[in-house]
Structure 1
Amino acid sequence: MAKKAAAKKAKGPPAKLAITQVRSGIGRPKPHRLTLRALGFTHHQQTLIHNDNPAIRGMIEQVKHLVSVRPVEE
């Protein structure tokens, strides 16, 4: 168990995700529009860089039909 805990703590800098809004939020349910806003999107075809963490992954899962996600190598 100690090795697993040490391996989790010994990570490098957090991974990044490039998230692009590929479909409009117009006509979508309000929770989807609010999730796009919470991610920081202000217009269509915008690309944002976010840290890869469970909170961001959860938001992406909610609007996965409106966004495109790819990892960013630093």
Structure 2
Amino acid sequence: MTKTSVESTVAPDAARQSDSGALRITLIRSTIGYDRKQATVVRGLGLRRIGHTVVVKDDPSRRGMIAKVRHLVKVDHVSE
């Protein structure tokens, strides 16, 4: 793929998600017993303990991280 084709496939999707505001992410389950990579993703989202909530910008990279640990977190949309 050329650089222009990558931008053309990613840009509309990224623009649509950035308009939706932010995401409120809450850790609802422990990472104990799960793969270490999942614990790393949870820490990368800024979550430290069960019940901890963070508000992050809605972008494709965070959506991908959430998809990897969707069984451990609760996600709500927040309008800015």
TM-score range, shorter chain: 0.7 to 0.9
Work out whether 1:61 is the aligned partner of 2:67.
yes
Tell me the equivalent position of 2:5: none
Shift of residue 48, structure 1, vs aligned partner: 0.4
Q: Take 1:26 and 1:45, find their aligned partners in 2: how far apart are those partners?
A: 15
SS in 2 for 1:64: coil
Q: Take 1:52 and 1:66, find their aligned partners in 2: how far apart are those partners?
A: 18
Work out whether 1:24 is the aligned partner of 2:19.
no
Query: What does residue range 2-21 of structure 1 map to in structure 2 within 5 Å?
Result: 15-21=21-27
Q: Based on CA coordinates, which of the two structures has the bigger radius of gyration?
A: 1
Shift of residue 13, structure 1, vs aligned partner: 6.1
Shift of residue 27, structure 1, vs aligned partner: 1.2
Runs of at least 4 residues of structure 1 off by over 4 A?
none
Q: Which runs of 5+ in 2 are unaligned?
A: 1-10
Q: Which runs of 5+ in 1 are unaligned?
A: none
Q: Take 2:35 and 2:72, find their aligned partners in 1: how far apart are those partners?
A: 12
TM-score of the superposition, structure 2-length normalised? 0.73
Number of equivalent positions:
66
TM-score of the superposition, structure 1-length normalised? 0.79
